[in-house]
Amino acid sequence: MTALHIVQGRPDPHFQTLKRAASGNGSLRDWTVPRSARRGDRVFFYLVKPVSSFVASGVLAADPKRNEDKSDQWYGHYYAPIRKVLLLPTPVRIDEVRNQLPDWGYLRNVRVGTTIPAHRRASFEKALGLSGMSQNDTAEVSDFENIQTETRILARSRSRRLRDAAFQEAAGVCAVCERDFSKILGGRGVRVLQVHHRKQLRGNDRPRLTKLKELAVLCANCHLLVHLDPARALSVPRLKKMLAM
């Protein structure tokens, strides 16, 4: 009988790695696993805080090998390739599993991977909602969100002075659909209006002098339609004509 093991990962970047594997060919090149694991065993991926949940499963594609690279932080650990990676139907928090197996001390402080004792297999799979069903059956679609990550971006500057002048000249009216948003929700509707550059700034990396006549005020829907093709925006007159057909 194949064994079941718990392996660990971090929300960032391991959750994205698991998602890519599950939506691709289902394979991971390697993952840290218990030394006693063997080819064909099943593994369950647990992501540590702040997620603290079991999120996926897989099958070992080979026996584990010891990491002999002394310069690597995982030196001395065992790793193996994993196939058939599948996201669980619903992520299962560690406290839910504890409630199902209250006498399993390992779950009180999950710090390393482990092999699941044979007499706890059925209860563990039941806690993960896998007993009596295929892992492809999904009663409810779910996914992790609100995971905090640090991102570095470069943003092109915009003139507040030009923006305010454009809004004043538009007087709450979208230049495409011509709807007067100043008359919606007691004037609060103007918050959906956005300033559009008729000549896109992305076409040139150098600073550029912009005139008021080169701007148009559009509602969020029309602004999205103008930029349906990210490489080349529609002109305001062209979109207005298309919507009138």
Q: What is the pLDDT of residue 139?
A: 44
> What ranges do the domains of the chain cover?
4-127, 160-244
pLDDT tens, residue by residue, 148-175: 666 666 666 778 899 999 999 999 999 9
What percent of the chain lies above the pLDDT cut of 90?
64
- How far apart are alpha carbons 64 and 129 in whole angstroms? 28
> Residue 228: its pLDDT value, please?
87
Per-residue pLDDT, 54: 95
Give the CATH class of 4-127: alpha beta
Average pLDDT over the chain reads 87
Residue linked to tokens 């007159």: 237
- Point out the residues of the chain with pLDDT beneath 50: 133-139
Convert the chain into a string of H (helix), E (strand) and C (coil): CCCEEEEEECHHHHHHHHHHHHHCCCCEEEEECCCCCCCCCEEEEEECCCCCEEEEEEEECCCCEECCCCCCCCCCCEEEEEEEEEEEEEEEEHHHHHHHCCCCHHHHCCCCCEECCHHHHHHHHHHCCCCCCCCCCCCCCCCCCCCCCCCCCCCCCCCHHHHHHHHHHHCCECCCCCCEHHHCHHHHHHHHEEEEECCCHHHCCCCCCCCHHHEEEEEHHHHHHHCCCCCCCCCHHHHHHHHHC
User: In the prediction, which pLDDT does 129 show?
Assistant: 87
Q: Per-residue pLDDT tens for 197-216?
A: 998 876 666 777 889 999 99
